[in-house]
Structure 1
């Protein structure tokens, strides 16, 4: 009933709200059952909210806000709802970047955990469905796994590989590129125990993890012989293990004895009685933080450094 159009309405002084006067009956064509149905239905909602019915009193706001309180308690608001229990929602499509609700199913598929752990035992071409997956390369190599086209992969999506087979080639699709540390490549080869993680940057694949990176992270660096004087210590500050490969020579075919050593006492030495200008090569591994040097036996001929290569 619209009390503002009723002849029997009055204005409640304290609140200013229109209401039906207590001195006149409410005209109705409803049956008692109809009225009870409405009242009982409202009371079910009030009880569902854990509230108790109370007598209407225009001076008691809680008596006429009871239904609103029950609705706020039982049903979520459209603005900033606070869900309880185990609410569910439709799962958005893969790669959806809209403002739809993200379900736990969508989060798993998006790679917060591996979306899948498929097993490959033969030549295979992957699709975008492998996003977020840990791909097991099993069986016996050699065989080739072709990556999905980079154009089908959203920025930031990844694929990880773990191999229990030898000679598994992870190869680009089309003209895509795979960035491994300092350079690009078209193929990465996995052997037993190797891992590789690739991430799309929108235009190419970036190798961001895995044991395969180590094979591509090392570079040979030729060092000027004059910068490696005898009996001078040089520090390995690269943060990596360094392989020294040094060729010593002596032009007069005389005997000499050259030694490579590290600060931890590791020594590589060799004697050349008649090198004839061909030189003698010494190899030595220098661990991170160690220093290294070379020396020679002064009772023999004095050698010189023909070439000095540091690989790390």
Structure 2
């Protein structure tokens, strides 16, 4: 593949575009993968769109728990739209050319929506904590204004950090090679192409990962530690079962999302092979988003009931 290079006066060759290798190591399966990922993408859009829709129109779901769930599902749609359409285009054309600016833009939105999901999961855990551990004050603590503020903070608070992180990474010198052994622009494979010492960049990544992955995860663990402790004190077996059922879906999503994301961004770069890195990224960018609507639908009676009411209206 021919790359576009800009020769500066200082005789340093600066890369103006990258090539995403994606699944080029299995060329005979490109069309099969295109069909598979297209179907997965459409299923993600449909599943999460249905959840967003029912949390807006169903009166029974007009409570904070489902307000947060609707926002989380919308963030999932945004998150996968950053990566999968580009991957489908590369599989269709069997080329992986991506400009320097397009790569930086993709990374910016990937980190933005990923950070939003981390914070929304934390907010959802806090909501369950208040509902189970402080039920008498739930309506007062989780009023509409507070919910809107929490959601707004989840969507916007990470943007300044992501802007700084993206600028810092793409301010590095990339003097070759220009091939990214990945199917989208992600931090670990991009840093491998940078010239010179990337220690400061890696340190910044670990700091940001701690802020947006570890700290929210610790808050979630602390919330659920208190929740479980309070549930076990309930005298009614039915009450314990109902309390656990309202938390199980969220806990399952947290384990899936945080498990893979933590491995991807906190594991030392030198210890993570490119193949394993691609597999992990594929899991949290493609397979986890398709599982989330299924998890929330099958494990939540209120959501399942709302979906059953909505589907006949859509199909008729």
Please say whether Structure 1 and Structure 2 have the same fold, judged by a TM-score greater than 0.5.
no
- RCO comparison, higher one (Cα < 8 Å, 6+): 2
More strand by share: 1
Measured against the shorter chain, the TM-score band is: under 0.3
With normalisation by structure 1, the TM-score equals: 0.17
- Rg bigger for which structure? 1
More helix by share: 2
With normalisation by structure 2, the TM-score equals: 0.17
